[in-house]
Amino acid sequence: MAVLTALTRSLGHYCLKRSQPSIFPSPNSRFQSLRTLILEPSLSQSVNLRRLSDADSGIIEVNLDRPEAKNAIGNDMLKGLRHAFEAIDGDSSAHVVMISSSVPKVFCAGADLKERKKMIASEVHSYVNYLRSTFSLIEELQIPTIAVIEGAALGGGLEMALSCDLRICGENALLGLPETGLAIIPGAGGTQRLPRLVGKSIAKELIFTGRRIGGRDAMAIGLVNYCVPASEAHPKALEIAREINQKGPIAIRMAKRAINEGLERDMTLALDLEEECYERLLNTEDRLEGLAAFAEKRKPRYNGE
C-alpha cells in the first residue's frame, strides 16, 4: 500500500481512517505550525500509525479509533496494536512513541466484553496471553513511550498505559482496574506493573476494590506523570515527546535500558550495567557532536550514530 500524506493545523486534533484486511495471529499545541502526517499501512481500522515529519521526524503516534466500542480491545484492535508496535520495534528512525485516542472522553475502555462473552475458556486464555505479550512488547521497546489519557482508561486500557514509560492525563481522566467485579483479575500485567509504580498497598486497594480514580488522584499517587486541564493531555505529551526527540537517540535508548534493567538487579550489578551502557556511547558520533555543539553554542544535530 502506498504511504498516504495529509496536512493538519494542529497535531492535537485530527482523525484519519483507512482499512486493511486482518488476520488473527496465534499465541492547542504550544507550537502552532503545519506538520506532515505520514500514515502507515494498518492491519486494523481501529489502530492508526502516524509518523510525524519535518521538525518532529522521529515522533510516532499510535492512535486508537474505535468509537462505537469506546476503544474496547477486541481481536481486530489487538492485531492492529501488535502490528503497529512490531513495526515501530524494527524502525531505527523512531525515537519516541505516543499512544493516544481519537475518541472523545475515552482512552480505552479495556477488553471487549461483548466479544469475550462469545469465547470459550481456551479462547479467553489465548486472547489474554496475546494481550499480555503485546503490552510486554510495548514495555520492552527501546525508545520512550507516552500514554496520552483523556477520559476512561479502564482494565486493559489502564494496563496498556502502565506498559508505557510516561503517562499524561487530563483532569477528566478516569482510571481503574475493575476486573475483580467480574470475578477475574487484571491479566495483562496490571497486578505486576501497578504495584511497581504506586506501591504494593495502594495497588492492592485499587485492585481489590476495583475503584476508579480521577486524574488528580492518579497524579497524587504517582500513577501519572502529569495531570493537565481536560483536552490538554495531547499538547503536553507532544511537548515532552519533542524534548525527548531533541536528545541523543542512542543515549535515550541506553538510559531506558539502564533504568529498566537496573531496577531488577542489586546495586552492584546495576552500576555495572550503567557502566556498560555508558561505554556504548563513548565512540558514537552523537557524543562528539554534543561536545562540539556545546563548545560552539548551538543546538546539536544528532543522527543516531
Give catalytic residue positions. 111, 156, 159, 179
- Beta-carbon contacts of residue 84 (< 8 Å; ≥ 6 apart): 40, 42, 43, 47, 49, 62
Cα separation, 212 vs 223, whole angstroms: 12
Cα separation, 146 vs 166, whole angstroms: 5
Cell of 79: 492485531
Nearest to 85 by CA among 9, 150, 160, 195: 160
List helix spans (H) across 94-179.
Answer: 113-117, 121-140, 156-162
Cα separation, 170 vs 151, whole angstroms: 7
Cα separation, 293 vs 17, whole angstroms: 41
Cα separation, 230 vs 168, whole angstroms: 11
Cα separation, 73 vs 80, whole angstroms: 10
